[in-house]
Structure 1
Amino acid sequence: MRVNCVGAVIFDAFDRILLVRRGHPPGMGLWSIPGGRLEPGETDAAGLRREVQEETGLHVEVGRLAGTVERPGPGGVTYVIRDYLAAVTDGTPAAGDDAADVRWCGMDELARLPLTEGLLDTLSGWGLLPR
C-alpha cells in the first residue's frame, strides 16, 4: 500500500533549516523536516500548510516541489513523500501535534543531530543543505 505524504523544506533569513523531533513512530526521537500524511481528498499544498501549522505553529506559503522520496513503513506500507520548499508567513516556532521539539539548524547542528534515515543525503542531493 502506498501512502501519500508531504514535507516542507523551510529556511530562515540566516539560511538555517527548520527541523522537528518526531514525538511518535515512525522515527520517534529523530529529527526531520515537518510533514506527514495527506488526508483523503487533500491537495499537497493544503496538507503541507496543515502539517507545518500542526507541528510547528508556523503558517507557510508553499513553493516549488523540491523532490520525491519513497520510504518503507510498517506492514509493507510505502510512504511516498513529496517535499516542497516553503516560506514562513506568520507565527513563532513551537512544537505541537506529534512533534516533540522544533528548531532552526545550521549545517553544523544538522551534521550532529540524529536524523531520519536518508534525510541528509536527500537534502544534499537536491542542493538544499543549510550553509
Structure 2
Amino acid sequence: MPASPKIGVAAAILNHQGELLIVQRGHPPEQGLWALPGGRVEWGESLAGALCREISEEVHLHIAPGPLLHVAEIVTPTVHFIVLDYAATVIGQESLRPDSDALSACWISPQDIGSRDWAAGMDQFFASKAVRDYLCL
C-alpha cells in the first residue's frame, strides 16, 4: 500500500487581549520550532473531536472549535501533512500548561509574529487573508 498524507488539526486561539497561543514543538519533526497547538487526527475521530483532544493534551485547555481558517499542505522529503487550522475559543478559566508534546507554550501579540522561529507551514498560515483578518493584521 502506498504511503498517504497524514491529516492534522491546529487551533488559532486568541485570548481576551488578542494574543495568539503558540507552542514550541517538543518532538520531531521540527522540534524546538514554534507552531499552533494541535496534532494528528486519529482513525474514526471527527475533526472537531481531534482538535479538542489535541489542545487538551498539549496545553490543558478546553476549547470550542470555530470556523476553518486555513488549510496547509506541508511536504518535505520525510513527511506529508495536511493541516486544517481552525479558529477556537477557550472554554472556562483553565490555566495554560504545556505537556509532553510542547517544550513551552505562550501567548504572543500578533505584531510579534516575526520574533519566532516557525515550523514549516506557518509562513503559509500567516500569509492567508482569512488568518490576517482573524488576527487583525
Q: Do the structures match in fold with TM over 0.5?
A: yes
Return the structure number with greater strand share: 1
Describe the superposition over 1:55-109 as per-residue Cα deviations: whole angstroms up to 9, x where unpaired.
111000011111211102554x420111110000031101113111000001343
Distance in structure 1 (CA, Å) of the matches to 2:72 and 2:39? 13
Gaps of at least 5 residues in structure 2 are: none
Maintained 8 Å contact 1:22/1:29? yes
2:34 to 31, 37, 52: 31
Q: Is the 8 A contact 2:74 2:121 kept in 1?
A: no
Which of 123, 130, 135 aligns to 1:129? It is 135
After superposition, where does 1:47-58 map in structure 2 within 5 Å?
47-58=50-61
CA contact (8 A) 2:73 2:121 kept: no
Name the CA shift for 1:115/1:14 in 2 (closer, same or farther; >3 Å). same
How many Å apart are 1:7 and its aligned residue?
Answer: 0.5
Listed as ranges, the gaps of 5+ residues in structure 1 are: none
- Structure 1-normalised TM-score? 0.91
Residue-pair matches, total: 130
Q: How does 1:49-88 map to 2 (within 5 A)?
A: 49-73=52-76, 75=78, 77-88=79-90
Larger Rg over CA atoms:
2
**Separation (CA, whole Å) in 1 of partners of 2:51 and 2:103:** 18
- TM-score of the superposed pair, with normalisation by structure 2: 0.87
- Cα distance in structure 1, aligned partners of 2:36 and 2:20: 8
1:51–1:25 Cα change, 3 Å: same
Displacement of 1:116 in angstroms is 1.1
Q: Which amino acid in the other structure matches residue 22 of structure 1? A: R
Which amino acid is the alignment partner of residue 78 of structure 1? H
